[in-house]
Homo-oligomer: A and B are copies of this chain.
Amino acid sequence: MTSSRDTKSPLSTSDLHAAVSLRLAHHDYRYTRGRRRLVEAILAAGQPVTLPDIVVAAPGLAPSSVYRNLDVLERSGVVNRITAGGGHAYFEFAEPLLSHHHHLVCVDCGSIEDVFLDDELEASVDRSLAEVAGRAGFTPLRHSLDLHGRCAGCGSG
């Protein structure tokens, strides 16, 4: 199964499910049918999605369960919550299920698109952040580098 998604995900679909299962098990969570469908809805989107996106894409899932399971998936390191856009939070797979990347956040419509920077720059950023964090007694987990502006659709409006 090849697709443009492969440029972002270093994993095949079955490997993704295996990795998710492993991470859930490591936190004493079960990989139930509902959670599998949730993972597949996020995978199918191929970009950060909101809860309504997911409920529309997989109408069998109860909103309350989706909220609860997004929380479980986040706690297990499967999913990242992006709060940059207004209104709803956005969700996408966490690293290393998805390659390290960043976001173009549209200040008008709130849409979020993934982009990639070259490794050399990433290394410089990490080095500088680590130095600054150490000075503040801060324990780094991850960085988020987002570009805010107007997307192609909203740009001329």
A-side residues, CB < 8 A to B, are 83-84, 86, 104, 106-107, 113, 115-118, 121, 124-125, 128-129, 132-133, 136-152, 155
Known: A116-B132, A136-B151, A137-B155. 19 other contacts (CB 8 A): A83-B84, A84-B144, A104-B136, A115-B133, A117-B132, A118-B128, A121-B125, A136-B152, A138-B150, A139-B149, A139-B150, A139-B155, A140-B148, A141-B148, A143-B145, A143-B146, A144-B144, A144-B148, A145-B146
A113 cross-chain contacts in B, Cβ below 8 A = 136, 138
Q: Are A147 and B140 CB-contacts (below 8 A) given A121-B124, A125-B121? A: yes
A86 to chain B, nearest CB (A): 8
- For A117, give the chain B residue with the smallest CB separation: B128
A138 cross-chain contacts in B, Cβ below 8 A = 104, 106, 113, 147, 149-152, 155
A83 cross-chain contacts in B, Cβ below 8 A = 83-84, 86
Most buried by B among A116, A118, A136, A138: A138
A80 to chain B, nearest CB (A): 10
A149 cross-chain contacts in B, Cβ below 8 A = 133, 138-142
A-B contact pairs, 27 of them (CB 8 A): A83-B84, A84-B144, A104-B132, A104-B138, A113-B136, A115-B132, A115-B133, A117-B128, A117-B129, A121-B125, A121-B128, A124-B124, A125-B125, A125-B145, A129-B147, A133-B147, A137-B151, A138-B150, A139-B150, A140-B147, A143-B146, A143-B147, A143-B148, A144-B146, A144-B148, A145-B145, A145-B146
